[in-house]
Amino acid sequence: MGVKEILEFIKIEHTLFSLPFVFIGAIFAGEATSLQLFWILIAAIGARGLAMALNRIIDKEVDAANPRTAQRHLASGTMSLNTALTLSAIFLGMLILGAWKLNIVALQLAWIPVLAFLVYPFLKRKTWACHLWLGVCLGLAPAGAWLGIVGSELGWGAITELYWLPEVLFLSIGVMLWITAFDLGYSIMDIESDLANGIHSFPSRFGDGTAVKLAVLLTVSWMIILIIAQGGWFWTVACVIMAIVNILAFTSKKEDMKAFQTRLFRTSVSTGWLLLLGLILEMQI
C-alpha cells in the first residue's frame, strides 16, 4: 500500500480541521520555539491519524452498510485489518514521541486523547450525544498544544494552579461546539443509513430541520465563547465572519447532498485558518 492510499485512509485533509486550532493553542501559550512547534505538529498528526484509523477499524461493518462510506478501504476490503492496526500503532507512536519531546506532563496525559478516540465510535451505537463527544476529541487539540509549551516551564502547576483559566478553557469549549455543529450537519447525509443500521445520531432521532437549528445555535455559541477567549478586534471580526459563513452553509439547500457536503467541508476547513490569521494579526498590534 502506497503513501496515497494511506493518506486517503486517514483522510489527511481532515487534519486541516484541527491543525489551525493546534497553532492557536500554541499562540495562547506565548512564545514557542521552532522545535516545540515541530513536536507539537508531530503529536497533532499522530493524534489525528490515530483517531481516524481507530474510527475506521471499529466502524468497518457500519461503513460497509452505508452507501456513502462503503468504498472506504477497510469496508471495501482494499486494506487489511493488520495494515490498519499497524498504521494505528505508528500514529500512536508519533503522538507519544511528540508529547515526550515536549515535556513530561504532556507525555503523562497523552492517554486522555487516546481514550477519547476509542470511546467515540462506540457512542454512535448508544446515544445521539456522540456528536458532542467528537467535539470533545477535537477540543483537546488546542489545550494539548498549550500544555506542550507551558508544561515545560510550569510542570503540573500549569494544570493544578489553573493557568488554563479562563482563556484556554474557553478556546477548547469553542472548538468543541464548532466541531459538534459541523458533525450535526455532516450526519444529515446519513439519516437513512443510520436508521437502517441502528446508528444513533441527532438528525436521525430528531430530524434534519431540528439538527440545522441546533447547529446554528451552537455556531452562535462558539462565536461568543471564542470572542470572550481572546477579545481582540481582528480575532472578533474573524469569529463573526466565519460564524455567518457556517450558518449560511448549514441553512443552504440540501437537494444535492454531495454539493452540501462540499460546502460544509470547505466552510469548516476555512474556519480555523481564518481564525488563526485573525489571531496572528492580533499579535502584530
Who has greater pLDDT, 68 or 131? Answer: 131
Q: What is the pLDDT of residues 106-137, one digit of tens each?
A: 999 999 999 999 999 999 889 999 999 999 99
State residue 15's pLDDT score: 74
Q: Report the first-to-last Cα separation within the chain, whole angstroms.
A: 48
- Residue 10: the pLDDT is 63
CATH number, residue 24:
1.10.357.140
CB-based contacts of 208-215 (< 8 A; 24+ apart in sequence): 208/254, 211/184, 211/185, 211/187, 212/184, 212/185, 212/188, 212/250, 212/251, 214/181, 214/184, 215/181, 215/182, 215/184, 215/185, 215/250
Length of the chain: 285
| Residue 211, domain extent | 3-284
Residue 283 to residue 285: CA distance in whole angstroms: 6
Contact between 135 and 183 (Cβ < 8 Å): yes
Decide if 105 contacts 112 (C-beta within 8 A).
no
User: Average pLDDT over the chain, rounded to whole?
Assistant: 92
Sorted by sequence, the CB contacts under 8 Å of residue 198 that are 6+ apart come out as 125
Using one digit for the tens of pLDDT, what is the confidence trace for 208-252?
Answer: 999 999 999 999 999 999 999 998 999 999 999 999 999 999 999
Distance in angstroms (rounded) separating the CA atoms of residues 35 and 264: 34
69 pLDDT tier (thresholds 50, 70, 90):
confident
The whole model's pTM is what?
0.93
Residue-wise over 41-52: b if at least 16 C-beta within 10 A, else e? bbbbbbbbbbbb
Q: What pLDDT score was predicted for residue 3?
A: 67
In terms of pLDDT, which residue wins out, 276 or 72?
276
User: What percent of the chain stands above pLDDT 70?
Assistant: 95
The number of domains in the chain is 1
Are 36 and 102 a contacting pair, CB within 8 Å? Answer: yes
pLDDT of residue 273: 96
How many Å is the Cα radius of gyration of the chain? Answer: 19
Q: Which of 208, 51, 198, 215 is nearest to 126 (CA)?
A: 198
Mean pLDDT value of segment 261-268: 92
pLDDT in tens, 151-207: 999 999 999 999 999 999 999 999 999 999 999 999 998 898 888 888 889 999 999
Q: 206-212: long-range contacts at Cβ-Cβ below 8 A with a sequence spacing of 24 or more?
A: 206/128, 208/254, 211/184, 211/185, 211/187, 212/184, 212/185, 212/188, 212/250, 212/251
- Which residues lie closer than 8 Å to 216 by C-beta, 6 or more apart? 181, 247, 250, 251
